[in-house]
Amino acid sequence: MSTVTHDAPDFELSEELKMLRDSVRDFSDHEITPGAAARDANHEFPTEIIKRCAEMQLMGITIPELYGGAGLGNLALSIVLEEINRADASVGVTLSVHNSLLGGPILKFGTDELKKKYLPRLASGEALGAYALTEPQAGSDSANLRLKAEKKGDRWILNGTKIWITSGDRAGLMIIFARTDTTVSKAKGITAFVVETASKGFKVGKQEEKCGIRSSSTVEIICEDLEVPDANRLGGPGDGFKIAMDTLDGGRIGIASQSLGIHRACLEASIKYAKERKQFEQPIGEFQAIQWKIADMATDLDAGRLLTHRAAWLRDRGLPCSREASMAKLFASRACNRAADETVQIYGGAGYTKDFAVERYYRDARITEIYEGVTDIQRLVIARGYLK
């Protein structure tokens, strides 16, 4: 009988990760949840909550201690994001983008100078991060970019528009993907730049009115002769699409984690209501129809968490995880939406009102199947991984 000697994931969290989970859960329960409904109703950006997240070192979870971060990795980030999103998905997506979509690529692809210059600002919360890839004609076809960058001496001049940019009007730093070469294939002619949003030529356009995650800011950004030093380029000219796709692996783990948080909030709310609500002289949790809904929710939650933690575990070790990240996002986001639907059904008419948080969970859940790659794109990534 052979002995398994390779490094395999441990289903038991380390004491350090348990302590992190418990502290963030307590923070979420006492400081995030109480104001979540009001922030949602008023479309109020969670400025003070983000400051508290910075104080708790949640703005630099994967950033090494050398640069002022916690140096804990993607599994820790997933655990944190589940707890935050259980309380407020708007706070959750803001943290996910900041950590996964800006801190991540600077750490992996930035020069030593860029890391020294920007990672401490991200880790401390001095600057909030954003990620600008999508354009009106470039959604799922993300290589079809038209925002252009032209080289002039030691600088690049950016012109064009990006849409649906999370935290775009709040961010101090942003990664912007631009077309720098029109003579090669679409994917090979893209370059990534780290942009300081205080720069001349950076403008904020339309503010989106959204169905859910309404206290998260989502805007159009416009570059008008925006100058970016060549030193702020990530990777080489033409490496942008590769960087964008690698970064989205981390982002998909982040959104899978968001799905887990919303899903868990739905399950906990369903269990509580099933015990309290009485019909036909007994709690509705005594009915098999309700029990089956809760059983399916609980099983899907565990399955989604295992998929998500596996993808985070692989990414922490520098192993390929595109397929696994897409599996995690595909399953966790769809399960989250099923759970939100069933939770409203368990609450009945009450679940369709703002008297209970479940209607917010229902609205917030829907976006998890859209951003960081729609559900069908995840299926393509997974299938191509196998068909290779």
In the chain, at which residue ranges do the beta strands (DSSP E only) sit? Answer: 129-132, 148-152, 155-166, 173-179, 190-196, 202-207, 218-229, 233-234, 278-279, 282-283
- Which of 82, 196, 324, 372 is catalytic? The answer is 372
Q: Is 287 left (phi over 0), alpha (psi -120 to 50) or beta?
A: beta
Residue 28 CA from chain centroid, whole number: 17
Strand-pairing partners, residue 229, are 155
SS3 percent helix, strand, coil of the chain, rounded to 5, is 55, 15, 30
- Paired sense of beta strands 173-179 and 233-234, if any: unpaired
Whether 196 is catalytic = no
**Any residues with CB less than 8 A from the CB of 234 and at least 6 apart, and which?**
105, 106, 109, 110, 114, 175, 192, 193, 194, 240, 243
CA distance 33 to 21: 16
Half-sphere exposure of 188 (CA within 13 A, CB side): 4
State the Cα angle at 366 between 361 and 370, rounded to 5°.
145
Instruction: Give the 3-state secondary structure of residue 158.
Output: strand
CA distance 354 to 359: 6
Q: Which residues are designated catalytic?
A: 372
